[in-house]
Amino acid sequence: MNILLTGAAGQLGSELLPLLSEWGEVTATDRSEPADLKNNWLKADISDGGEPENLLNRLRPGLIVNTAAYTAVDQAESEPQTSFDINADFPGRLAAWAKKNNARLIHYSTDYVFDGNAARPYVETDTPDPLNVYGDSKLAGERAIAESGCEHVILRTSWVYSSHGKNFVLTMLDLARRGLSLKVVDDQTGCPTSARNLAQASISVIREWQASGAGGRTGVFHYCDDSTLSWHDFARAIFSFSVSAGLLEKEPELAPVSGLEFPQPATRPNWSVLDTSKIANVFNIRPASFSGSLQAVIREVRARGLK
């Protein structure tokens, strides 16, 4: 099977690349240089004003895995067209090609499609109501894929982190190494999710698709790891595990504060907890351990010498 992986140098793409290679011939695309020379790699950003159909017609993938996304949440407020081009128009074009050519599509969305006013974990059938341009653009991408009629799985997730790229874990570690006293928001709650676990969930979808043949399971599914925390709780866990792993000598001073103390261009939902019952029932995919996953990432950061 020919597989096209977009955004291959990002957090999720980097985790997916070696796993997808076990399922077929992978062509990876990104604007960055290749991370794995053993795979076919195109240094191109086909999500940004390119012509994805030309590449698709040449490669003829049976599976498209789209991790390319515009994720600059605050910047999207001043660049809405770019956000919609990459997060909505591009996946819609991938989906239209997939429908026409009987290919499958895996795509990724966000907890930010919801307004954060729920009193329980969000299920897939809850009505989206984004608070910012980024959430609007991701929701538009979901709808474009659904309207195409292609066989697809959209994985909504939250608070993704890894040992590389730009994410909350590495930002907190960088600030801690500077010896700063920190204030972290404690009135926004979500489910931190390891990029590796999200990649593994994607592979489980592919495995089930392969087993089911034509007419496999399709639609929107939630996946996140198993713990519900505030950003402050998340930071505290990062520092505790980092001291235990020898990455930090001591935990920095850490104070909880309201999000109102950190005004940002894009409004964030205060509640971003996703219910994962559907993906467990349909694909037998269950949330991975937050604590075990975070500790594994901390160990990777230490092993790479990123002190």
Residue 154, domain CATH:
3.40.50.720
**Residue 265, in any domain of the structure:** no
Per residue in 171-222, pLDDT tens? 999 999 888 889 999 999 999 999 999 999 999 999 988 887 655 689 999 9
DSSP one-letter code for 150: -
Element (H, E) at 14: helix 11-20
**Residue 302, in any domain of the structure:** no
Residues ≥6 apart with Cβ < 8 Å to 157? 108, 109, 110, 111, 193, 198, 222, 223, 224, 274
Torsion of CA 48, 53, 54, 55, to 10 degrees: 80
Catalytic residue among 122, 134, 161, 223: 134
**Residue 251, in any domain of the structure:** no
Per residue in 63-101, pLDDT tens? 999 999 999 999 999 999 999 999 999 999 999 999 999
- What is the number of structural domains in the chain? 1
**Residue 23, in any domain of the structure:** yes
**Residue 219, in any domain of the structure:** yes
Domain with 21, as residue range(s), is: 2-159+195-224+273-287
3-state secondary structure of 144: helix
Q: Please indicate whether residue 134 is annotated as part of the active site.
A: yes
**Residue 258, in any domain of the structure:** no
Q: Which two tokens stand for residue 241?
A: 């595990």
Q: Which two tokens stand for residue 145?
A: 């894929």
Give the residues across from 256 on adjacent strands.
184
Q: Which two tokens stand for residue 205?
A: 């979808």
Q: Quote the pLDDT of residue 180.
A: 80
Q: Quote the pLDDT of residue 274.
A: 97
Q: Which of 60, 164, 122 is nearest to 269 (CA)?
A: 122
Residues in the chain predicted with pLDDT less than 70, given as ranges, are 33-39, 41-50, 213-216, 306-307
- Half-sphere exposure (Cβ direction) of 95: Cα atoms closer than 13 Å: 26
d(CA 212, CA 208): 6
Q: Quote the pLDDT of residue 53.
A: 86
Residues 17, 26: contact at Cβ < 8 Å? yes
**Residue 126, in any domain of the structure:** yes
**Residue 298, in any domain of the structure:** no
Element (H, E) at 59: helix 52-59
